[in-house]
Amino acid sequence: NKQHMAPVARTLRARLPRGYSSRHPATRVVATLSPKFLPASVRSSATSFFRTRASSPQEASTSASEPSAITTTTASDDDDAEKVVRRMYRKINERDVNAAMECVDDDIVYEDLNFPTPFQGADAVRKLFEESCDGIPADLDFVIDECTSGDPLCVGMTWHVELGGKTFPNARGCSFYRISPTTGRLVYARDIVENPTKLGSTAFAIMRAVLPLVRKQIGAADAPSTESDKKNIERTITPAAVAFGFAGAAYWYILLLSPPFSMMPSAALLPGEPMWAVAPDTLSEVVAESTDFFFVLPLLNNLGINFMQGPDVHPVSLGFFNACEAYALLLLPLLLRQAKKRGTSTNVLPVWSAAMFLTNAILLPYFAVAKSEEGTASSDDGSNAPLSPAAERAFGIGGLAVGALSVYWTLAANPELGGSLADRASYWSSLVALDPSGGGSRVTIAFLVDAALFYAWQVWLMGELADEKPEKQTSVLRFVPFAGLALWLL
């Protein structure tokens, strides 16, 4: 009814916070907003309007005598979205799930993009909150950074996680929340958490490779494309690219993302924690092993050079970690040779650099992309030029040295920490126990899978490059794990 509502709408537009959508119907604005936005004259006009719409004389009488009835079915004045969400965060940090649930509507839909499906209803969200609070250190807090403003029913936030007052690595995020205009409680939420893998430009290469497959899967119409684009689509859909893509997805889910037994017993595949719920102790162990990369720091400490003291890491864990890293080191010359021979466009060096830290979480997607790009690089493209013979020999010598030191470290180094051979064997057995409810180490299991895959890449790539080395030498060395690759490079 434009005649009745025009003055109301004009006043509202002048008084609402900046950014509030003018597309909201004026009747909804009057019915949902706090009275503090409405002067007495506007409330009177609105009351008059609603009185004319009442279905009975009794309702009209009630509306006329009680102007505040316009907001009797809405949230209280203090229940704007930001305040509700801040109160919920505060209660979560206090591990008070019952109090946090007072901010949640019964009909909530909560989308946490770490999970495959949304949590629907208060009971499902309560379970999510309980699982997120269970066993979490008391000094781990969610901290809000910035909030949007302008809409009392919706708010966007950026946030991060702190442990003991210090920023937790790879734990930033952004969220969107909407509250019900009726109950003033949270009715919709979406959380997006920082990706810890930091694939960089590799992510674009993976995206280009899988886009045609995704387009076919979801039945999306083909976009207008250039001849170059069409060539990309044709070479992407190959059995090898698809196989490597599925293998990469399985690797990521099973080893890095599958839920822990403590949260989802029925869905747990491995012991230990996934990347998105890594325990501080596990993170400390990984950091300690990385600090002792290639045994540089422990060796310097043994020589009396103590500018930085190496952390204490069980020699079995440290030896196996460095053996796997040395294996990844030896793969670079093979990857460069293959990329040049096959005409792969993706730059190998940054991919290999990332694989030194994330191993086959990077290499499997790379192989999927590489198989879709064969023949696309020009002959004069120098981005994947093979290493010189001297550099390849240096890689071989370095790999053999670290490999030999890894064997010694695993079997004999630091007896005060590692104990006897029997103690070390027992410790190794505990690390690779596969029972999801047991005490096995997911990190060690992942490295064990990496070692097996590195051997597969050695056999495959040395076979493809057999014509670049003496045939007898390749036919024997390609099947000797680790040492065969190092000697081949020599």
Q: What interhelical angle do 81-93 and 122-133 show, nearest 10?
A: 40
Q: Residue 160's closest CA among 139, 137, 138, 144?
A: 144
Which residue type is seen at 41? S
Quote the tokens at residue 431.
């690390």
Q: Name the pLDDT band for 197 (thresholds 50, 70, 90).
A: low
Nearest-angstrom CA–CA distance, 275 and 283? 9
Q: What is the pLDDT of residue 228?
A: 46
Question: DSSP 3-state assignment of 1?
Answer: coil
- Strands 154-163, 166-179: pairing kind: antiparallel
Cβ pair 114, 194 in contact under 8 A: no
Share of the chain above pLDDT 70, in %: 75
Is residue 6 predicted with pLDDT exceeding 50? yes
Q: What is the pLDDT of residue 15?
A: 54
Q: Name the pLDDT band for 53 (thresholds 50, 70, 90).
A: very low
Q: What is the pLDDT of residue 67?
A: 41
To the nearest 5 percent, what fractions of the chain are helix, strand and coil? 60, 10, 30
Query: Of 46-60, 274-288, 334-348, 452-466, where does mean pLDDT reach its minimum?
Result: 46-60
Is residue 69 predicted with pLDDT exceeding 60? no
Question: DSSP 3-state assignment of 180?
Answer: coil
Query: Of 15-24, 52-61, 179-188, 282-291, where does mean pLDDT reach its minimum?
Result: 52-61
Q: What is the pLDDT of residue 32?
A: 43
Q: Which residue has the higher pLDDT, 381 or 264?
A: 264
pTM of model > 0.85: no
List C-alpha distances in Å: 490 to 43, 331, 395, 478, 479: 87, 13, 8, 13, 16
Per residue in 142-182, pLDDT (tens digit) is 999 999 988 999 999 999 999 889 988 888 999 999 999 99
Q: What is the pLDDT of residue 468?
A: 83
Q: What is the pLDDT of residue 157?
A: 96
Count of CB atoms within 10 A of residue 295's CB? 20
Q: What is the pLDDT of residue 3?
A: 53
Q: Name the pLDDT band for 419 (thresholds 50, 70, 90).
A: very high
Nearest-angstrom CA–CA distance, 74 and 101? 19
Is residue 20 predicted with pLDDT exceeding 70? no
Q: What's the rounded mean pLDDT across residues 193-214?
A: 69
Which residue type is seen at 368? A
DSSP for 120-178, written as a single string: ESHHHHHHHHHHHHTT--TTEEEEEEEE--S-TTEEEEEEEEEETTEEEEEEEEEEEEE
Cα 260 to the center of its chain, rounded Å:
15
Is residue 77 predicted with pLDDT exceeding 60? no
Q: Name the pLDDT band for 68 (thresholds 50, 70, 90).
A: very low
Query: Of 32-46, 306-320, 343-357, 451-465, where does mean pLDDT reach its minimum?
Result: 32-46
The mean pLDDT value of the chain amounts to 81
Q: What is the pLDDT of residue 37?
A: 47
Is residue 12 predicted with pLDDT exceeding 80? no
Task: Walk across the sheet containing 166-179 and list its strands.
Answer: 119-120, 104-112, 186-193, 166-179, 154-163, 140-147
Per residue in 114-142, pLDDT (tens digit) is 888 999 999 999 999 998 888 788 888 99
Per residue in 86-114, pLDDT (tens digit) is 999 999 999 999 999 999 999 999 999 98
Q: Name the pLDDT band for 277 (thresholds 50, 70, 90).
A: confident
Q: What is the pLDDT of residue 175?
A: 96
Q: Which residue has the higher pLDDT, 47 or 85?
A: 85
Is residue 345 predicted with pLDDT exceeding 80? yes
Q: What's the rounded mean pLDDT across residues 341-359?
A: 90
Q: What is the pLDDT of residue 484?
A: 95
Per residue in 423-474, pLDDT (tens digit) is 999 999 999 998 888 889 999 999 999 999 999 999 999 999 988 877 777 8
| DSSP 8-state code for residue 35 | G
Is residue 30 predicted with pLDDT exceeding 50? no
Is residue 219 predicted with pLDDT exceeding 70? no
Q: Residue 372's closest CA among 489, 266, 248?
A: 248
